[in-house]
């Protein structure tokens, strides 16, 4: 987007007039769209699995179990767009699914938008589309939103893989439907591709010094007890391990009040959603938990999800009492071998916001992510242009504030804290010597 807020940064997505049609000619649309509720989507399990097998790009956060969790334990209305391709025999094939909620944009403008992904515990907003019908399915979805008087006409499609086929399909579909699309923000996050045939393990971008550190950490932990890497796959195992994960996460830095309760356990609505989602995904064979255990105690845990041939790193926690031994790093070093073991996973998406996360130091590949604003109004709208401008300025300001804090504020704070701690320790030492 240029500085005027116009939708021109993606030239391929500039508004395109819809082709004229002869109203007198009988026409049966090859693609129709249904705006459904989660129970309807959940009942389409077999159709969904067939779609995942032939989809352009899998997304575990569009799974029926996620929709079911949103429906049963949250108060957020969920709209499920289902695209169907009609067959000559009168039947229909599912060729697209997109879960959308009504929300406000990140800049908190007082307007309603449709948004994906659905909440702060879902990390990819791309629809799941038949690879042969992706543009047709998306164009029909956008047209359905444009025609539905109850739905907002702006879609915040966040965390879309900009280097994947769905991004290209979105741009083409917006042009075909006559709407507008703009990229609000772009960034990268880590991913890890499966090893080549015959290769024992993925080639990590880890220095020899770091590998030596990991070996030393593993040896130090092994001296304290029995060190085991345990995998949980069965639904009942995953449910029990998830409760242990919540306790482990809340006991660390995310559970402190200074972090405003970012631990899932400290937010009851998110906890209920997460529990229902993870157990539901486990029942569908789409979730697992890895744990590094020292004797009977979990000192690091990682939850990963899967859909199709892609795995998604969801959440991780470690025992800060063992922080000097790097249990989290040890687990993340070992996890890919387990995930790739059966040869049915091609890629692990870290699901991190950007490359500032620790996994970026271990996993060499990158996935480009884009946050998009789609205006389904033919030719665009003033509301769409103003929202795009506000969103971009808000994101830029937030990014500047984060960089300023990390680069200037935090280092000063840590230096002052270190000096204060040193002075307090010295004073305590002198006082103890005086009393003796």
* 10-24, 77-91, 279-293: which is most confident: 279-293
CA–CA separation, 113 vs 184, rounded Å?
A: 15
pLDDT given at position 435? 62
Statement to judge: residues 323 and 235 lie in one domain: yes
Confidence band for 4, pLDDT divided at 50, 70 and 90: very low
Statement to judge: residues 96 and 245 lie in one domain: no
Statement to judge: residues 18 and 124 lie in one domain: yes
CA–CA separation, 247 vs 275, rounded Å?
A: 13
What's 284's domain CATH number?
A: 3.40.630
Judge whether 287 lies within some domain.
Answer: yes
Judge whether 433 lies within some domain.
Answer: no
Statement to judge: residues 91 and 213 lie in one domain: no
Helix pair 208-222, 327-339: axis angle to 10 deg: 100
What are the pLDDT digits (tens) for 412-431? 877 887 888 788 777 777 77
Judge whether 415 lies within some domain.
Answer: no
What are the pLDDT digits (tens) for 77-135? 999 999 999 988 888 999 999 999 999 999 989 999 999 999 999 999 999 999 999 99
Statement to judge: residues 84 and 202 lie in one domain: no
Statement to judge: residues 43 and 180 lie in one domain: yes
Q: Of the candidates 288, 208, 204, 273, which has an alpha carbon nearest to the alpha carbon of residue 241?
A: 288
Statement to judge: residues 18 and 134 lie in one domain: yes
Confidence band for 214, pLDDT divided at 50, 70 and 90: confident
CA–CA separation, 351 vs 323, rounded Å?
A: 23
Statement to judge: residues 225 and 200 lie in one domain: yes
Q: What is the mean pLDDT of residues 178-207?
A: 81
Backbone angles phi and psi of 103, in degrees to 5: -150, -175
Judge whether 222 lies within some domain.
Answer: yes
Averaged confidence pLDDT in the chain: 87
Instruction: For residue 248, give both structure tokens.
Output: 């482990």
Helix pair 268-283, 64-73: axis angle to 10 deg: 150
- From its phi and psi, is residue 324 left (phi > 0), alpha (psi between -120 and 50) or beta? alpha
Q: What percent of the chain has pLDDT over 90?
A: 69
Statement to judge: residues 180 and 202 lie in one domain: no
Statement to judge: residues 170 and 278 lie in one domain: no
Residues β-bridged to residue 102 = 114
Judge whether 23 lies within some domain.
Answer: yes
Judge whether 175 lies within some domain.
Answer: yes
Judge whether 413 lies within some domain.
Answer: no
Judge whether 5 lies within some domain.
Answer: no
Confidence band for 28, pLDDT divided at 50, 70 and 90: very low
Statement to judge: residues 140 and 216 lie in one domain: no
Q: How many domains does the chain have?
A: 2
Statement to judge: residues 132 and 230 lie in one domain: no
| Domain membership of residue 381 as a residue range | 11-185+369-400
pLDDT given at position 345? 95
């Amino acid at each position: 987007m240029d500085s005027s807020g116009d939708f021109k940064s993606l030239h391929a997505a500039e508004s395109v007039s819809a082709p004229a049609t002869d109203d007198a000619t009988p026409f049966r649309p090859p693609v129709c769209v249904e705006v459904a509720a989660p129970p309807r989507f959940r009942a389409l399990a077999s159709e969904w699995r067939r779609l995942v097998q032939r989809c352009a790009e899998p997304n575990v956060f569009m799974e029926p179990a996620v929709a079911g969790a949103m429906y049963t334990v949250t108060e957020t209305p969920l709209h499920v767009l289902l695209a169907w391709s009609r067959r000559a025999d009168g039947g229909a094939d599912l060729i697209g699914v997109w879960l959308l909620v009504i929300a406000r944009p990140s800049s908190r403008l007082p307007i309603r938008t449709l948004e994906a992904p659905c909440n702060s515990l879902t990390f990819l907003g791309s629809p799941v589309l038949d690879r042969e019908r992706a543009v047709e399915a998306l164009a029909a979805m956008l047209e359905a939103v444009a025609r539905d008087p109850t739905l907002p006409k702006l879609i915040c499609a966040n965390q879309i893989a900009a280097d994947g086929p769905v991004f290209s399909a979105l741009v083409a579909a917006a042009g075909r439907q006559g709407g507008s699309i703009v990229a609000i923000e772009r960034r990268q996050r880590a991913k890890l591709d499966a090893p080549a045939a015959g290769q024992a393990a993925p080639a990590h971008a880890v220095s020899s010094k770091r590998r030596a550190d990991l070996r030393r950490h593993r040896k130090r932990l092994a001296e304290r007890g029995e060190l085991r890497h345990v995998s949980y796959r069965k639904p009942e195992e995953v449910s029990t391990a998830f409760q242990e994960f919540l306790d482990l996460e809340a006991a660390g830095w995310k559970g402190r009040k200074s972090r405003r309760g970012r631990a899932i356990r400290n937010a009851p609505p998110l906890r209920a959603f997460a529990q229902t989602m993870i157990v539901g995904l486990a029942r569908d064979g789409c979730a697992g938990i890895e744990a590094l255990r020292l004797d009977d105690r979990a000192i690091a845990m990682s939850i990963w999800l899967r859909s199709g041939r892609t795995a998604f790193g969801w959440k991780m926690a470690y025992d800060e009492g063992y922080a000097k031994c790097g249990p989290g790093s040890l687990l993340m070093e070992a996890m890919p071998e387990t995930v790739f073991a059966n040869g049915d996973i091609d890629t692990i998406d870290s699901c991190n916001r950007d490359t500032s996360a620790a996994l970026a130091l271990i996993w060499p590949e990158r996935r480009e992510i884009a946050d998009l604003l789609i205006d389904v109004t033919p030719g665009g709208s003033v509301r769409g242009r103003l929202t795009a401008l506000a969103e971009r300025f808000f994101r830029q300001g937030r990014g500047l504030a984060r960089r300023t804090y990390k680069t200037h504020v935090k280092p000063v704070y840590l230096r002052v804290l270190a000096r204060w701690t040193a002075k307090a320790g010295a004073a305590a030492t002198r006082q103890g010597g005086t009393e003796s």
